[in-house]
Amino acid sequence: MAKVLLIEDEESLRNLYTRILSSRNYTVETAVDGEDALLKLPTFTPDVIVLDIVMPGYNGMELLKVLKNDDRHRRIPVVMLTALSEMKKITECLEMGAVGYITKDSTVEDIAHRLNLILESFNIKQIS
């Protein structure tokens, strides 16, 4: 079972994505912001990180930069989660090392499909 660290500041969305991912056999750990995520990473090693771009404190782009500059975490694939239609920020995240993005209006099937494709590309097995 693949492990996901979901970093989302909005409680309702965090709960929704946790239910979606759990129903697809992912083990999900959540964080409310970048600082919370950094506190959880020493004890939870995810196969993939789903990271909201817009958050208080460390925003997603700042946290992505921290993760990609840290030897312990740089190889963990990071998928950006965004409600933004602004391609510039998404492009910046991809240039900084994110492996993909999911828009917040994606369907359950699309979210699961995108994560499965990313996990497969990193040779991580997932049971759907």
- CA separation for the pair 65, 120 (Å, rounded): 24
Question: Strand pairing of 27-31 and 48-52?
Answer: unpaired
* Domain definitions of the chain by residue range: 3-121
- pTM for this prediction: 0.92
Residue-wise pLDDT tens digits, 45-94:
999 999 999 898 888 999 999 999 999 999 999 999 988 667 788 899 99
More confident residue, 114 or 124: 114
Rounded CA-CA distance 8/15 in Å is: 9
- The CATH superfamily of 3-121 is Response regulator (3.40.50.2300)
Residue 27 burial (C-beta neighbours within 10 Å; 0-12, 13-18, 19+): middle
